[in-house]
Structure 1
């Protein structure tokens, strides 16, 4: 926080100096700034993550993602979502894929639900220790429909008015909705803490597809807005400041821009490490590629952030019977979306087949020279390499939160 404020003050001071210089008759082109030059080592070791206190592994992993598009091979990381944080689910979606193809997905994704317990995290720790990566999304119960469970994340009427998400912020007045939401945040914090204790980095996608209208945190179609940006920032501060956890890469994950542009609720560069849209399409084409389909160009928009990009979720749209050609993923990335650094295939729903283990030509996909699997992942710094000049504040074990799961409350500014 202090560094962030300092940066803002420097920018303001610089702007004021430029204005004074111009008023005093000094041409802008003649002004000189004398900042100390940074060495190549300083440039490569200073924190690059949204969280300045991120662990060395988190920083090294983000640098690796940034470098992937420059490679000639092993430049797109494979991923598979599992439908529950259980050994049975991991066996079905991950080990079954390995038996068929000889390769494990590099990334395993899970959804944090209300029923999660600490004992369930063993499969994620094992995957990490074997060289894999972990991504998480949250699929929270609608605080305004508490009896609905995780299924209440979807709204029955996408055109109906959405709630004011500012009611859920840490700085808001106490309400039943806020209490339920904060309990769900504690559950997320517990899981991130469990991963920190194991030394694992979490690629976290809070409030995914917020530019769509289908989730309770999504865009209100009447007003064409939501306060998802503020709630995302609140989650950021809860994890990094209140819980003092720094083993996270922060992923902004918009949906296809049917209802609003991909960057409608972008929380700001200082809160985001990667931009990872979701896309379900038989041809893996993003909105903007087909003439007349959308006024937006989703790929152009996400790349414009300058952050590493990847498919946070992907899969077919109509070929949900196992007939989808999984090679379409890498073909499309190679030919149309070369900046994409990873793909993450969903587990399917309502008996629809989507997972890699049951799609066609998955062997070819997982053995493509562009694809990174758990067997050939290479993000870890070589022994003796320095990844950051800032020592981790957590060490191998994260600081323990207060008994209530809350520390000092950080007050993010509400933007609108």
Structure 2
């Protein structure tokens, strides 16, 4: 590690999980308390350090279910207080909530999916207050070309590293993000811990930070600069998530090629979506399970957590996708969470225009399978996690 966390920050007690009607949770005792796990940020807030350590314990009980933009909108609704498509179906909220801060770099009022940043702050606060977990990605515009995140000419990363033509522009964008992270506070006045996934899916070829335009050395330098810069700006509520795609990753060597080092990473993850029907269902389960096993081995060797940070099957046209396909994909791997993408609803801008959603809603034909998935002892939703269990 760069430096060890102050001992006082780490001298917190692990709260006993107790029991729930839905799941028999393991009881903590002196015999099964875990060793303290150190974060990349040596000055991480007490709540951030507590969340990180408690996530190591929680994975013994199961994995958390997450949904992107869950509180902001769903199929045929938007900004209805307290509403969630997941809650409409199960009566319970997700345990993990995904958000994206794309367009924050330009000081825009709304993110790239149309969510006002002020509303996002409110949603993140609600999640923390009830004991859920927030994770943030950043589809950052291209600072070299002026295009969006998917505009990926050669040389962008080189241009924003120290000495590059766009370095100062990039620092200004990081300043905007730092201000946003420092504005996230709960009703208790504490900074809200965030699982932050910078430069996600970099093993693909679609973003300007991906490996087709960026060398391993450049990526590592970019990652380290970002972590160090946020720390210098006083941002100490981030848990850093190293997040590949499933593209170009088959072995542990593939996964670790761009790894910036244990002192800069807290969690390992990847994104993988279900594409196609028929034999593609079993192929997805097999491939995801293989990658989770590969990543779990790397995480165990480096003392990190793991997650399936983005996944899903658009419109969920298979009646057993949750209890068969996804459940088989995760298998016995002890991940922290799985997150499915957003419920946009009808999207006229897609080619072809179609319904675009990844979690079932109240009118979905196969919602019963999701209800059975919810009842599984291994899946954790909001009722299974609390502020006392995760942040103390």
User: What is the match of residue 191 of structure 1?
Assistant: 180
* Structure 1 residues 288 and 328: alpha-carbon distance in aligned structure 2, compared to 1, 3 A threshold: closer
CA contact (8 A) 1:153 1:215 kept: yes
CA contact (8 A) 2:132 2:387 kept: no
Aligned length: 324
**Structure 1: which 5+ residue stretches go unaligned?**
5-39, 291-296, 388-416
1:29-108 superposed matches below 5 A: 48-71=38-61, 75-82=62-69, 91=80, 95-108=84-97
The answer as to 2:333 corresponding to 1:338 is yes
CA contact (8 A) 1:165 1:231 kept: yes
Instruction: Specify the SS of the correspondent of 2:134.
Output: strand
In the TM superposition, residue 312 of structure 1 has moved relative to its aligned partner by 0.6
User: What is the match of residue 166 of structure 1?
Assistant: 158
TM-score (norm 2): 0.71
CA distance in 1, matches of 2:335, 2:225: 28
The answer as to 2:266 corresponding to 1:273 is yes
* Structure 1 residues 362 and 83: alpha-carbon distance in aligned structure 2, compared to 1, 3 A threshold: closer
User: What is the match of residue 356 of structure 1?
Assistant: 359
1:8-407 superposed matches below 5 A: 48-71=38-61, 75-82=62-69, 91=80, 95-114=84-103, 115=108, 116=110, 119-120=118-119, 121-146=121-146, 148=147, 152-155=148-151, 162-169=154-161, 171-173=162-164, 175=165, 177-196=166-185, 198-220=190-212, 225=216, 227-241=218-232, 243-258=233-248, 261-281=254-274, 282-283=281-282, 284-285=284-285, 287=287, 297=291, 299-306=293-300, 307-316=304-313, 325-328=321-324, 331-332=327-328, 336-347=331-342, 350=350, 351-358=354-361, 360=366, 361-378=369-386, 380=388
CA distance in 1, matches of 2:218, 2:306: 23
Render the CA deviation track for 1:239-267: whole Å, top value 9, x for unaligned: 122x1121111111111133782222111
Instruction: Specify the SS of the correspondent of 1:309.
Output: strand
In the TM superposition, residue 140 of structure 1 has moved relative to its aligned partner by 0.4
**Structure 2: which 5+ residue stretches go unaligned?**
5-29, 111-115, 275-280, 345-349
CA distance in 2, matches of 1:219, 1:267: 14
CA distance in 2, matches of 1:44, 1:337: 20
In the TM superposition, residue 224 of structure 1 has moved relative to its aligned partner by 6.4
* Structure 1 residues 211 and 286: alpha-carbon distance in aligned structure 2, compared to 1, 3 A threshold: farther
In the TM superposition, residue 86 of structure 1 has moved relative to its aligned partner by 7.6
CA distance in 2, matches of 1:102, 1:213: 39
CA contact (8 A) 1:113 1:138 kept: yes
Instruction: Specify the SS of the correspondent of 1:78.
Output: strand
User: Looking at CA atoms only, which structure, 1 or 2, has the larger radius of gyration?
Assistant: 1
* Structure 1 residues 352 and 188: alpha-carbon distance in aligned structure 2, compared to 1, 3 A threshold: farther
* Structure 1 residues 369 and 181: alpha-carbon distance in aligned structure 2, compared to 1, 3 A threshold: same
CA distance in 2, matches of 1:83, 1:376: 17
In the TM superposition, residue 54 of structure 1 has moved relative to its aligned partner by 1.1
Instruction: Specify the SS of the correspondent of 1:276.
Output: strand
1:2-13 superposed matches below 5 A: 3=3
Instruction: Specify the SS of the correspondent of 2:321.
Output: coil
In the TM superposition, residue 134 of structure 1 has moved relative to its aligned partner by 0.5
